[in-house]
Chains A and B, each alone.
Chain A
Amino acid sequence: MISLRQVTKVFDGGAGAVHSLAGVDLEVGAHEFVAVIGRSGCGKSTLLRLIAGLLAPTEGRITVAGEPVTKPRRDVSFMFQRPALLPWRSVLSNVLLPVEIFGLDRREGRDRARLLLDLVGLGGFEERLPHELSGGMQQRVSLCRSLIQSPEVMLMDEPFSALDAMTRTELSEELQRVQMELPRTVVFVTHSIEEAVVLADRIVVLSPRPGRVHRVVDVTAPRPRALGRADLDQVSRDLRVLLSEVTG
């Protein structure tokens, strides 16, 4: 579904060039959930923005569904670290933003939006404004907005990192459930080993400055997964070792 070949990204800053990614190769299959993990500054967010078409690679080739990425695609959704909701729009209307931007049928969109909001437990909150919701609920709205695009690919940039620990766990489990019901191809950037282990089929460990693929770890444990299971603990320990290797 997604293919990166020898992708390099260099930013020309005022204080000289910053090498963000160097020679990254990555293949993500259809409906595969790939987590990208690494210390801050390893180019994880840049990697996502390259796949999203928000940034252009300095070198290398990126394709989604076999087509080279030149600009953002409608079948690729992006979920941010913060909920990024428009404060004047109701929950429902925020979810409908992509429908409006794409110029799709609003009535049909509204029905789908309600279904998605029900799916994440936000039924009855359609007419609330974002500031009336908790951080976890806001991020759920953001998830619905991603899903309403019916994306083939979902790119998620540390979507739960701004939440408290309990809400994080809750949302990871929720995302896992959504993924089991509506399977998509997902690239999920995180710095949390626990999140990666629960959610991902494969975990890519990036080494920092410039970001390179250090190791890819398969997680074969059956779903639904919950933290604290013995087979997940082993993967977590392996990942901790891998991450300590790349911080040197």
Chain B
Amino acid sequence: MTVVLPVVGLLAIIGLWWLATIVFGIESFLVPSPVDVVSSFVELPGYLLEQSLVTLWETVLGFLLSIVVGVPLALMIVGSKVLERMFYPLLVALNAVPKVAIAPVFVVWFGFGIESKVLLIVLVCVFPVVISTASGMKSTPHELVELLRSLDATRRQEFFKLRFLYALPQVFVGLKVAISLAVIGAVIAEFIGARAGLGYVISQSGASADTSLAFAAMSLLAVMSIMLFYGLAYIERRALPWAEEHRGMT
């Protein structure tokens, strides 16, 4: 049932959409029917797959890089009050800047290639990663800290055997936010200046009024985003089997 109902819902919406394009006689350059979108796929399967892989690669790379940058940054902030006071407001300010506004600057700085895309994605993703990691690191229950103190554990042991592991479910909350933002970041970056990727396909098809192709690219983006999200959720369930039940407990 968990699989059947969403599929039925999806099919119903597609059916309504199809019906609407026929009943209201909507031109396909305004709103293409599902058939038009599918035929766009069929016409250019190799091209669309290639563009999807470009976007996917940028997204995954940017996402991973934002973990590499974000987690140590969060640990530094949590570890030192001074660093927290120095950099936390900056981080908030950085996050407040609309990323669309930065994208053109990145193109100027880093060119039309993959670098500007990946860096924009990092910029979009790093904030949720930092925030969730930092709050996870601060969420260690007092009695567990006291337990390790009573065993005269070193700070290193306290970190690796307790605080970091305890933070992981929180970290994953941030990662799940970040992975969806990463796809959005990739598309924005490709809109502004790119020679490949699904975002590039969409902006090009807009210029040539090939709305079906744009819809096809959007559908692919949605599928990619969903797959990435659930892939991450799967990793979380496998890696932290204790997390869900434990959350219910405390």
Contacts and interface: CB of A to CB of B under 8 A. Distances in A.
Nearest to B248: A131
Given A80-B146, A131-B245, A72 B152 contact: yes
Interface string B119-153: 00000000000000000000001011011111111
A88 B150 contact: no
A98 B161 CA distance: 11
Given A86-B165, A129-B242, A131-B245, A71 B152 contact: yes
A130 B241 CA distance: 12
Interface string A109-137: 00000000000000000000111100000
A88 B245 contact: no
Contacts of B161: 86, 97, 100-101
B151 A101 contact: yes
A82 interface: yes
Interface string A72-95: 111001101110101110000000
Interface centre among A87, A130, A149 (most CB of B within 10 A): A87
Interface in B204-250: 240-243, 245-246, 248-249
B150 A78 contact: yes
Interface residues of A, number: 25
Given A88-B240, A131-B249, A72 B143 contact: no
Nearest to B168: A88
A54 interface: yes
Contact of B148 (A82, A87, A101, A102): A101
A88 B249 CA distance: 13
B173 interface: no
A65 B223 CA distance: 67
A147 B146 CA distance: 17
A52 interface: yes
B112 to A, nearest CB: 45
11 contacts: A52-B150, A54-B149, A54-B150, A72-B152, A86-B144, A101-B152, A101-B153, A129-B241, A130-B246, A131-B249, A132-B245
Given A77-B150, A86-B144, A86-B161, 6 more contacts: A84-B147, A88-B240, A88-B242, A98-B151, A130-B246, A131-B245
